[in-house]
Amino acid sequence: KQEVTQIPAALSVPEGENLVLNCSFTDSAIYNLQWFRQDPGKGLTSLLLIQSSQREQTSGRLNASLDKSSGRSTLYIAASQPGDSATYLCAVRGNFNKFYFGSGTKLNVKP
């Protein structure tokens, strides 16, 4: 059974710092990996999608990488801002169109 782990569970950084969030998964047979952002009590907002054949995707200050063979993905956030404060979740799409989510990293960017 696919298991997705996110480390750290919480992270607090001063504004302006670059930071990395980690996501690992146990079964490398995935179709894609998606990073989401969730604000308190709200739904998930899709940030980046990486297909299994890709190594990375970029959107603005965000860069996500994927190493399928080692079962790892990272989300890099450059020049963090207080508005980046949220919980970040990763999800992998496995066989039979099933999605498996990590428990998230709660990010706090201090002004």
Partner 1 sequence: KAGVTQTPRYLIKTRGQQVTLSCSPISGHRSVSWYQQTPGQGLQFLFEYFSETQRNKGNFPGRFSGRQFSNSRSEMNVSTLELGDSALYLCASSGGDRAHEQFFGPGTRLTVL
- Which residues here bind partner 1, judged by CB under 8 A? 31-32, 34, 36, 41-46, 49, 51, 89, 91, 93, 96-104
Residue 41 is given by DSSP the state T
Tell me how far, at minimum, the Cβ of 10 lies from partner 1, in Å: 13
- Closer CB to partner 1, residue 68 or residue 93? 93
Q: How far apart are CA 90 and CA 37, in angstroms?
A: 9
Tell me how far, at minimum, the Cβ of 89 lies from partner 1, in Å: 7
Q: Please report which residue ranges of 8-103 form alpha helices under DSSP H.
A: none
- Closer CB to partner 1, residue 31 or residue 76? 31
Q: How far apart are CA 65 and CA 48, in angstroms?
A: 10
